[in-house]
Amino acid sequence: MLTPDQLAEIDAARATPRPTLRAVSEGMEAHLYRAHPVLDHGFIRVIDYMGDDAAIVQAARVSYGAGTKHVQNDEGLIRYLMRHWHSTPFEMCEVKLHVKLPVFVARQWIRHRTANVNEYSARYSILDREFYIPAPEQLAAQSTVNNQGRGEVLTGEEAARVLDLLKSDANRAYDHYEAMLSQDGQQGLARELARMNLPANIYTQWYWKVDLHNLFHFLRLRADAHAQYEIRVYAEAIAACVKDWVPLAFAAFEDYRMGGVTLSGKAIAVLKRRLAGEAVTQEASGMSKGEWREFVEVWG
């Protein structure tokens, strides 16, 4: 995944700590620069960060010092801010990540517009022969109940057939990429053009900088069970770092956003009727079948 030279660079970066007056999160310091593997060739690593839990409290209070000095007060305020969608104090924290990911995952990821991105240039550099090939347990058929999901895991000959297609297509496309770039006795094609036949499972890399509020929004959508597995594992790896970086804010996020649900007016009315002892049906609820199914998933 990382070459010995790249690992040595990371070790060197970690070997020269300097004192600072800036806010430091001990939990995040442990992650700085280190690569956390994701999928077969990917990773995320924290390149830089700004702020900690106290910085959120400090911004909310527009104070001179660091937070309120009482963890309990900080926690209560952070939970209050999260509960009431008072989001700007969370924007005071930022993180910069280096991410290596398949291009088809990058296409989903880049839809999150409230971040700053700089991607590896395949006009300037030659891409590596690295393709995402799903692990056997992720090689699944189309779901029969969810148009946007996968169902039964493939096994035996069918798994082998699909894997063979994935691998041979990737290798053939890369062989042609190399052949087109080749200037061995011929003119060769420019890198910016030769790349266009490469498949969407080839890996790309970028630096991605985002503030904590928008990162929580990203995690809410992409660490969710409904997100595609291949982006979800990246979101989960990032979430593990965020938990160590801002433990109080992350706990509030887990509780209110990941663990909570939004109730519509109709859903509240149904719950009230149920609490009063009435057996409410979908037809009598005023909700559509889809809404009702989702409501029942949470409330039974």
Ligand X SMILES: Cc1cc2nc3c(=O)[nH]c(=O)nc-3n(C[C@H](O)[C@H](O)[C@H](O)COP(=O)(O)OP(=O)(O)OC[C@H]3O[C@@H](n4cnc5c(N)ncnc54)[C@H](O)[C@@H]3O)c2cc1C
> Of the listed 161, 222, 232, 257, which one is catalytic?
222
Among 111, 265, 289, 298, binds ligand X (CB under 6 A): 111
User: Which part of the chain contacts ligand X (CB under 6 A), choosing from 22-30, 187-195, 200-208, 220-228?
Assistant: 220-228
Number of residues near ligand X (by CB under 6 A): 9
120 annotated as a binding-site residue = yes
Interface with ligand X (CB under 6 A), residue from 63, 88, 114, 118: 114
Site membership for ligand X, residue 18 (CB under 6 A): no
Write the burial class of residue 267 (CB in 10 Å: 0-12 exposed, 13-18 middle, 19+ buried): buried
222 annotated as a binding-site residue = yes
Counting contacts by CB under 6 A, is residue 227 touching ligand X?
A: yes
The yes-or-no answer on residue 222 being catalytic is yes
112 assigned binding-site residue: yes
The answer to the question of whether 33 is labelled as a binding residue is no
CB contact at 8 A, 212 and 192: no
Instruction: Give whichever of 146 and 168 is closer to ligand X, judged by the CB atom.
Output: 146
Instruction: For ligand X, give the closer residue by CB, 32 or 221.
Output: 221
* Residue 43 vs 216, nearer CB to ligand X: 216
Give the dihedral sign, CA 251/254/257/260. Answer: negative
Report angle CA 87, 89, 94 to the nearest 5 degrees. Answer: 100
Tell me how many degrees the CA angle 100-190-122 measures, rounded to the nearest 5. Answer: 10
Please identify, using beta-carbon distances, which residue of 191 and 257 lies nearer to ligand X.
257
> Is 34 one of the annotated binding-site residues?
no
C-beta closer to ligand X: residue 127 or 227: 227
Residues 10, 86: Cα–Cα separation, whole Å: 37
84 annotated as ligand-binding: no
Q: Does 273 bind ligand X (CB under 6 A)?
A: no
Q: Pick from 34, 79, 112, 191 the residue near ligand X by CB under 6 A.
A: 112
**Rule CB under 6 A: which residues touch ligand X?**
111-114, 214, 217, 221, 226-227
Which residues belong to the annotated binding site?
Answer: 88, 108-113, 119-123, 195, 211-213, 217, 222
Which residues belong to the annotated binding site for dUMP?
Answer: 108-111, 119-123, 195, 222
Query: Which residues are known to be catalytic?
Result: 222
